[in-house]
Amino acid sequence: MPDPYRIEDTPPSLSTDGHPTPPRYDTPPFPPHRSAADRGGLRTALWVLLALSVAVNALASFGVLPLAVSIGSGVVTLACVAALITLHVRRR
């Protein structure tokens, strides 16, 4: 039974069992993933930045540094944690 909502004018190609074959793409639908070696430098930099921002936040919590520095390092800490979680989820 023909599909009345079909946009194409050409009939679909059929496989040997009579079912339509799926369309073929010249390029993959998603960009290729970067390898773990490519992400290694980014992940290392994020871990180092996370450790530094946690240390600065700890110093600011003891009252050695101003409140604005504490808030800034807290934001950097949250951003690093979010980026590391994102990289981990994408890698799975």
The answer to whether residue 24 sits within a structural domain is no
- Provide the residue range defining the domain that includes 53: 38-91
In a domain, 75, yes or no: yes
Convert the pLDDT of each residue in 20-77 to its tens digit. 666 665 666 555 666 655 667 899 999 999 999 999 999 998 888 898 999 999 999 9
R_g of the chain computed on alpha carbons: 26
**Cβ contact 47:84 at 8 Å:** yes
Q: Is the pLDDT of residue 15 over 70?
A: no
Whether 48 is in a domain gets the answer: yes
What is residue 5's predicted lDDT score, i.e. its pLDDT? 74
- Tell me the C-alpha distance between 33 and 10, whole Å: 35
Is residue 72 assigned to a domain?
yes
The number of CA neighbours under 13 Å toward the Cβ of 15 is 6
Has residue 15 been placed in a domain?
no
Where is pLDDT greater, at 76 or 92? 76
Asked if the structure places residue 30 within a domain, the reply is no
Confidence (pLDDT) at 3: 74
